A and B are shown apart, each in its own frame.
Chain A
Amino acid sequence: MMTASPSSPTTLPLASPIEPFSPEPLRWVAEDGRPVRDLPARYTPELLRELHREMVRAREFDRKLVTLLRQGRTTFYAQSSGMEATQVGLARSIRVGHDWVWPYYRDHTLGLAMGVPMIDLISQCLGTNSDLCKGRQMPHHFGSASKNFVSISSSIASQVPPAAGNAMAQKYLGTDEITLCTFGDGATSEGDWHAGLNMAGAAKAPALFVCENNQWAISTNLAAQTASPNIHIKAKAYGMPGFYVDGNDIVAVMEVCGYAAEWVRAGNGPALVECLTYRVGSHSNADADAEKNYRTRDEVNSWLARDPIARVEGLLAHLGHPVDAEERADLISAVHRAVDADVLKAEATGQPDWRIMFEDVYADTPPHLREQAAFVRAEMEGQK
């Protein structure tokens, strides 16, 4: 039933299948870093250190981007702090650049972990000439054709039916690609979400749907979002397995998502994975005082105690390879320097000029847009 993936050792399927619809989130590593089940051999200290570095990089990227926001150099940013294990783990569960990804708006850590250059993200957030998306979307809505990472859309769950279609095309074309489609818990209330899962299920399309359940859709919590006890059980209605994972345990995310990805790739149809995690920060700069308005400090603190980065550090310590404080400090300052350098590089490319507004509406610019562009040109020349 399963096919191995020789090109990506981190996505090898497990010897024994992982059962779907577990009542509790599956985990491999406890909060203190102690393994709670056998750790597959591939989790060498080298791999765990690599994962740790990626997670720290993501968290520090968040910090720096919030600073840019406060400096007024960008206008929107949605932190992923607290969700690093889910997104870094997801990137390791697929074949980057081979599979296709229809992400949601909080997936910059997934993008970074997939190898989208940091400057591409920064350029999109700043809207500079180096922005691959040419300054059209609000900040934090990037896309990267080289990684098959489809440009993010603001409208919630609207990426889900296209992801189903992308997977249907992969099946039609006879590829061994899969489509990864991510979304938050709030998206599962939208009609498009149900339509997309239903379509992919009916078509037995190779789509891996992953809910990054961070438990808050801006200020609406999961209990107000759905009467279901969790998200993954909804998979039953669409004829696909639903897996429940501790999204703050990167080993669990990689094991379950890696397994689900290969199960999907083998032609079994789509699967749904729910990664239970937590957004530690606010939804965005629009609700910077989340703790004052809609959730308690106690709740946030209880999740800080389950921090995904600390968990990997605990695991490394348990394995006799602790991350020392100096090493961590060096890593953090290296990320800060790299972000600063990329910000300067991006800003040096300048802002896209007005012409860009009229491009890419259609493959060829039709007459009415050429006229409107000519109007702006005349206006600009008049201002000289």
Chain B
Amino acid sequence: MTATQERPTGAGETRILTLIQAVTEAMREELARDERVVVFGEDVGARGGVFLATAGLQAEFGPRRVFDTPLSEASVVGAAVGMAVRGLRPIAEIQFADYMGPGFDQIISQAAKIRYRSGGQFTAPMIIRTPSGGGVKGGHHHSQSPESYFTHTPGLKVVMPSTPYDAKGLLKAAIRGEDPVIYFEPKRLYRAAKGEVPSHDYTVKIGEGAIRREGTDLTLVGYGGVMPDAERAAAALAAEGVSVEVIDLRSLVPWDRELVLSSVQKTGRAVLVSEAPRISNFMGEVAYVIQEQAFDSLLAPVGQVAGFDTPYPYVQDKVYLPGPNRITAACVKALNY
């Protein structure tokens, strides 16, 4: 991991961090703040995780607080449930979102349900952090976007930041919250996304989206790894005289319907972008809510740009991902309807 780059803003108010540095910093600060916080998973200790998100944490906090586990996602997730029930604040890392399969039952049967099934007698406030999405030439077992499996499960909160600021603030909010949170980290933005992060303590509320760019002609909605491309598409359209409002959902469950609806009511057009396969894509829910609650405002059908309904490919990685051209084309289609 590269060293934190200080920005000459004086008084250390903000610094430029990469997204992964922000993730690490959130964990470091929360480990220091709260003895109940523990960080664990496969290779997160001395190695610091395959992407080095936990680098240095074991050295700083010791193997009691930051530790390696057996290679078993069912154990990692399940143990997090038990630790949370017994009063800890576990942050479990699943090495790649693609490997959540063996831990799936623990997520949906235990983590998501224990509050409800026990009538609130037992709760599992815990975080599952996992790198997700493509763009790193990882092939289908290192590039998938499985968020819809989890947005479909009541009891889970699901978030995916795209900026260092949000990465830190959302992770802190998740750690301090009372519910299980699936925290997807868009791996291709780990080092590509850089941005200002305050030095002071702050959180980003789960469930609130963010307007990345204001506009009046069309609302472009995305989250996670697609956001830089969505902003590039908006910039390209701006050069053509089209004003695109770009919204980053940041949280999928709960998601900021009011922000999206008020924007679509203003612009009359919506294009939804994600890189997950299209069928049962979370954006299908967003499209449904827009047509249900902003139908009269719509000047064109809601557009969707998604991944294809194939396993994620290795060689054709770039073709699979919805890049700025595909996003721009979907916007143009909506504008010309």
State the A residues within 8 Å of B (CB): 100, 102, 131-134, 136-137, 141, 143-145, 150-151, 153, 155, 158-170, 172-173, 179, 191-192, 195-196, 198-199, 202-203, 359-364, 366-368
Contacts and interface: CB of A to CB of B under 8 A. Distances in A.
Contacts of B80: 165
A150 B69 contact: no
B90 A165 contact: yes
Nearest to A201: B70
A367 B257 contact: yes
B114 interface: yes
A363 B110 contact: no
B109 A155 contact: yes
Given A136-B117, A150-B114, A196-B78, 15 more contacts: A145-B118, A145-B121, A151-B117, A151-B118, A151-B122, A158-B110, A162-B110, A164-B82, A168-B83, A192-B78, A195-B102, A198-B70, A198-B72, A360-B119, A368-B254
23 contacts: A100-B86, A151-B114, A151-B117, A158-B106, A158-B110, A161-B77, A161-B82, A162-B106, A163-B82, A168-B79, A169-B83, A169-B85, A169-B87, A172-B64, A172-B88, A195-B78, A196-B74, A199-B78, A199-B79, A202-B70, A359-B120, A362-B179, A364-B178
A201 to B, nearest CB: 9
Contacts of B303: none
Contacts of A132: 118-119, 121
A143 B118 contact: yes
Contacts of A143: 117-119, 121-122
Nearest to B179: A362
Given A133-B119, A169-B87, A191 B109 contact: no
Contact of B82 (A102, A155, A367): A102
Nearest to B155: A361
Which of B81, B157, B177, B207 has most chain A Cβ within 10 Å?
Answer: B81
Contacts of A141: 117
B105 interface: yes
Contact of B74 (A150, A169, A191): A191
B79 to A, nearest CB: 3
B254 A160 contact: no
Interface in B161-184: 177-179
A176 to B, nearest CB: 14
Interface string B39-82: 00000000000000000000000001000011010110111111
A367 B79 CA distance: 30
Nearest to A202: B70
Contacts of B72: 195, 198-199
Contact of A161 (B75, B116, B123): B75
B186 to A, nearest CB: 23
Contacts of B179: 362-363
B106 A192 contact: yes
Nearest to B81: A162
B113 interface: yes
Given A151-B122, A153-B117, A361-B155, A164 B79 contact: yes
A168 B72 CA distance: 16
Nearest to B112: A361
Given A172-B64, A191-B74, A202 B69 contact: yes
B278 interface: no
Which 8 A/B pairs are nearest by Cβ-Cβ distance? Answer: A161-B78, A165-B82, A165-B79, A363-B178, A151-B118, A162-B82, A166-B82, A169-B86
Interface residues of B, number: 47
Contact of A173 (B87, B122, B155): B87
B159 to A, nearest CB: 13
Contacts of B110: 153, 158-159, 161-162
B293 to A, nearest CB: 11
Contacts of A179: 82
A159 B105 CA distance: 11
Interface in B98-150: 102, 105-106, 109-110, 113-123, 125
B12 interface: no
B116 A165 contact: no
Contacts of B88: 169, 172-173
A163 B123 CA distance: 14
B220 interface: no
Contacts of A362: 115, 155, 157, 178-179
Nearest to B123: A363
A341 to B, nearest CB: 23
Which of B72, B154, B178 has most chain A Cβ within 10 Å?
Answer: B72
Nearest to A363: B178
Contact of B121 (A133, A160, A202): A133
A100 B105 CA distance: 22
Contacts of B38: 172
Given A172-B88, A192-B74, A363-B179, A131 B119 contact: yes
Contacts of B115: 360-363
A170 B38 CA distance: 13
